[in-house]
Structure 1
Amino acid sequence: MNLVWKWLLGIFVVLVLGCAGGSYWLYSSGQLKKLQEQFRPDLQATTVRLDKAVKGDLIRTVSAPGLSEPKNKVLISAQVSARITALPFDEGDQVKSGDVVVRLDDRDLVANLDSARAQLDGEKARLDGAKATYKNMEQELGRRRELFSTKDISKAELDQSEADFQRAESNLRAAEFSIEIAKANISRAEKDLDNAIIKSPIDGVLVKRNAEVGELVVVGTFNNAGTVIMEIADLSKMLLQAKVDEANVAPVKSGQKAKVFFNAYRDKAFDATVQRVMMQRQVDRDGTAYFETELLVEIPKGDQVFWGMTGNADIEVETIRDVVKVPSQAVLDRPLDELPKSIVDASQYIDKTKKYARVVYKVVDGKAVTVPVSIGPSDLTHTIVLGGLAADETIITGPFKSLTGMKEGQAVRDETTVPKDQKPAPTTTAKAGN
């Protein structure tokens, strides 16, 4: 009896070890997965990303790159030639309108003002002498005229007296004009002295300083530019000087809304408004023709956009309302010879004279169905479907690798229902062309 039990125990151990070894072999060799797929057809389906065609509005945009610059900016230069004695602010400092930003050496200017005032005093003394001479000549001429009327002097003597009077009158007028000139010289000297102190005309930031204390600044002339001491800009109101491609500029108008994306704020969109579109065509260094377009960017409190930042504007040129739209990556170009003949013959949206057809794959009873479509404009993410697809229909939007190899009638399953360990690695999606 003991021998029988030993045989039974041995057979049991062999069976257990055999089952364990067989299970390990099935798992490690992949045979288990093949058996599962044989008895579970749903596991053979391609894992896809699903979405729905929706009805709504689509905003068509025109994109244009550009650089930021302040709406209000001033170049600070001198109106008198002198050496800089003080620069109270450094680059990056905030300044207020009326703040003194440059002081110039005013010693020569003070001397010029003193000289002008002394000249005025001298001209006043000369005027007093001219007035006295004029009065004497006037009295003398009156006396000579009386003597001439009584024949006590000759006509020549009277003529000489009249000439002396006219000369005195001219000297008086010249002295009066000299007074006005002297006063003007004083005003000019006072203005030059005032210009030795340069104040900021705006609230803003000192963005660039081109000179240092001790340097001589010169006044600009018609042929020579003067010294630009510094640049001040109001960075609270920024523009984007965008380059709109010649092929896209026609619908761009003043007043249109836009979104601006700066490289420094990759995930943030700034609201903007088109201020004006320049009328003159320009050509970039690479030969691209464009029209410069100015957009006013709204800067939220707490954010800072610097002068010269690279950005891109998406200008909203048209709103198309109440249309069927799908994610752009769902729209594919398929060679006609790869599509079922029955679909090609039956569809009104396929041009048989062309080699490619525009299609979307929708899902019916777990299988991909090829749907030829007619499409309209696109925005940054969606494309309008003019015909061939209705709102709320379930469509395949990815992954791109699965979409490119999709066939009519291919079994598919929603990736959201697949366990994480069975999901394919993410792939890059691509937009369909219009």
Structure 2
Amino acid sequence: MVRILVVLVVVVAVLAGAGFAVVKSPMGQKFWGGGNEPVGELVQMEPVGLGDIVRTVSAPGSIEPRTKVQISSQVSARVLALPFREGEMVKAGDVVVRLDPQDLVAILDSAKAGLKGQEARLGGAEARLINARLEFERLRSLYETGDVTKAELEASEANYLQAQSDKQALVHSIEQAKAQIDQAQKDLENTTIVSPMDGVITTLNAEVGETVIVGTTNNPGSVIMEIADLSSMLLKAAVDEANIAPVKVGQSAKVYINAYPDRVYNGTVRQIGLKRQVAADGTGTFEVEIGLELGEGETLYSGLTASTDIAVEHVYDALRVPTQAVLDRRVDDLPIEVRAGNPLVDVNKTFARVVYRVVDGKTVVTPVRVGVSDLTGTQILEGLEPGDVVVTGPFRVLVNLKHDKPVRDEKAEAERKRAEEAAKAGKKAPGADEPAEPDAGAPSSEQGVSAGEG
């Protein structure tokens, strides 16, 4: 009988020990529960610490060359030659377009011939002017002595004035002819077009044999090609008008190009547009130019789709928590002991900003005052201390999380399970020639006999 009591005491002690467990997370939180599993919902936790927070303004945009020129013709002529093709490098001074000069040569020759004719007529006009002047002076002397009538004098004067006008008209015609020759000479020179800069031909709109035309007020004319310096690129970003105020020239930026998803480019704001632009959907934006920092010899394609994060504010060594941990809760839903007399809870407002601390395995809703936020972290100005442990996720749990609710640390739980699996794997499996160990819960033959004897 005594042996039976001893066995029962041992079994009760084992069962009692198995019915209550304590789990401790790596962050020092204790989670108590009955049974073989600890109680509480699995959550992600993180201690409050210090770190840098960068507030950014994001915007879409496209990559453009910092310097680009459009090559147009200053004369209407047929394209005779295009020495370079699209995508090829050119140097300043390289001939990129040759136009047919035949018609312009004819115009120049005609202008020169016209000038010679005008100059020849000018000699006759000068002779007629001299004769008219002498005749007028002679008749004026005779008129003073009464030898000619006034009508004869006036007719001579009119002839003299006409001779002056004819000469002046020829002088003007000669000046115009010379100007036409100068223009024809320039037009002839413009049939050879050279690149004004080093760069790459990014667009070629003409082919040999086509006729290019000069632009007018109502016609932009022919753009033969575009040359750009692809080693010096910028992002033209469309910043929403609601976010433009903190953006300043000189601020740093990160640029993400869709074509290169594994690369982040550094940039600097170099210019901010002063005129509001309206998109097709009515959204107001401002154009912001961000110069990109490229490596030696590195180039980018023009027109690539990209986006940017402009760093408009930088806070160092801020008390921070993951942004997801900061929630808005209705003031009326907060426990009375939390909202009563708490300077961080404005009872006149509908919502309060809170986080959930974890104390002894349970959540404690904690009002906070926040500062700068970025995509990952939020600055805490009041309400938390370094080392406090807060619930950071998952989001589906955070949305419905309540005060004083038991929770467990996902990391601690994962470590516990790994330890259990390692312990099980460490036990040696019995071999074919080795007897299996008896079940600890089953009585031995001796115990069975003793019980039977009793």
Question: Do these two structures clear the TM 0.5 threshold for a shared fold by scoring above it?
Answer: yes
Deviates more, 1:401-410 or 1:249-258: 401-410
Task: Give the counterpart letter for 1:418 in structure 2.
Answer: E
1:304-340 Cα deviation digits (max 9, x unpaired) = 3322222222222333455311222333557889987
Task: Give the counterpart letter for 1:300 in structure 2.
Answer: L
* Paired residues of 1:373 and 1:385 also in contact (CA < 8 A): no
**Other-structure match for 2:415:** 418
CA distance in 1, matches of 2:321, 2:61: 30
* Paired residues of 1:49 and 1:415 also in contact (CA < 8 A): no
**Other-structure match for 1:382:** 377
**Other-structure match for 2:294:** 300
**Other-structure match for 2:355:** 359
Deviates more, 1:206-215 or 1:124-133: 124-133
CA 1:373/1:343 → structure 2, altered by over 3 Å: closer, same or farther?
A: closer
Task: Give the counterpart letter for 2:179 in structure 1.
Answer: A
CA 1:167/1:419 → structure 2, altered by over 3 Å: closer, same or farther?
A: same
* Mapping of residues 6-405 of structure 1, within 5 Å: 41=23, 44=37, 51-149=46-144, 152-266=147-261, 267-285=263-281, 287=282, 289-301=283-295, 302-320=297-315, 323-332=318-327, 349=344, 358-362=354-358, 367=361, 369-374=363-368, 375-397=370-392
What is the CA distance between 1:229 and its match in structure 2? 1.5
CA 1:341/1:160 → structure 2, altered by over 3 Å: closer, same or farther?
A: closer
CA distance in 2, matches of 1:103, 1:243: 39
Structure 2: stretches of 5+ with no match in the other structure: 1-16, 25-35, 421-454
CA 1:413/1:263 → structure 2, altered by over 3 Å: closer, same or farther?
A: closer
Deviates more, 1:398-407 or 1:109-118: 398-407
What is the CA distance between 1:173 and its match in structure 2? 1.3
Q: Secondary structure at 1:235's aligned position in 2?
A: coil
What is the CA distance between 1:281 and its match in structure 2? 5.0
CA 1:146/1:240 → structure 2, altered by over 3 Å: closer, same or farther?
A: same
What is the CA distance between 1:107 and its match in structure 2? 0.3
CA distance in 2, matches of 1:281, 1:123: 57
CA 1:119/1:325 → structure 2, altered by over 3 Å: closer, same or farther?
A: same
What is the CA distance between 1:295 and its match in structure 2? 1.8
State, as a whole percentage, how many aligned pairs show the same letter: 45
What is the CA distance between 1:111 and its match in structure 2? 0.8
1:194-248 Cα deviation digits (max 9, x unpaired) = 2212223333321111111101112222223312212222333333332223433
* Paired residues of 1:68 and 1:241 also in contact (CA < 8 A): yes
Task: Give the counterpart letter for 1:295 in structure 2.
Answer: E
* Paired residues of 1:203 and 1:234 also in contact (CA < 8 A): yes
What is the CA distance between 1:356 and its match in structure 2? 7.5
CA distance in 1, matches of 2:387, 2:244: 35
1:67-120 Cα deviation digits (max 9, x unpaired) = 222333322222211111111121112223332221111100011011111111
CA 1:40/1:146 → structure 2, altered by over 3 Å: closer, same or farther?
A: closer
Q: Secondary structure at 2:111's aligned position in 1?
A: helix
Q: What's the TM-score, normalizing by structure 2?
A: 0.72
* Paired residues of 1:254 and 1:277 also in contact (CA < 8 A): no
Structure 1: stretches of 5+ with no match in the other structure: 1-34, 424-434
* Paired residues of 1:56 and 1:325 also in contact (CA < 8 A): yes
What is the CA distance between 1:125 and its match in structure 2? 0.9
CA distance in 2, matches of 1:64, 1:270: 15
What is the CA distance between 1:345 and its match in structure 2? 6.2
CA 1:373/1:91 → structure 2, altered by over 3 Å: closer, same or farther?
A: farther
1:283-314 Cα deviation digits (max 9, x unpaired) = 433x5x22122222223124433222222222
Task: Give the counterpart letter for 1:410 in structure 2.
Answer: V
- What's the RMSD between the two structures over aligned residues? 3.7
Q: Secondary structure at 2:67's aligned position in 1?
A: strand
1:127-172 Cα deviation digits (max 9, x unpaired) = 1121222223333333444444555554444443333322222222
What is the CA distance between 1:358 and its match in structure 2? 2.3
Deviates more, 1:309-318 or 1:51-60: 51-60
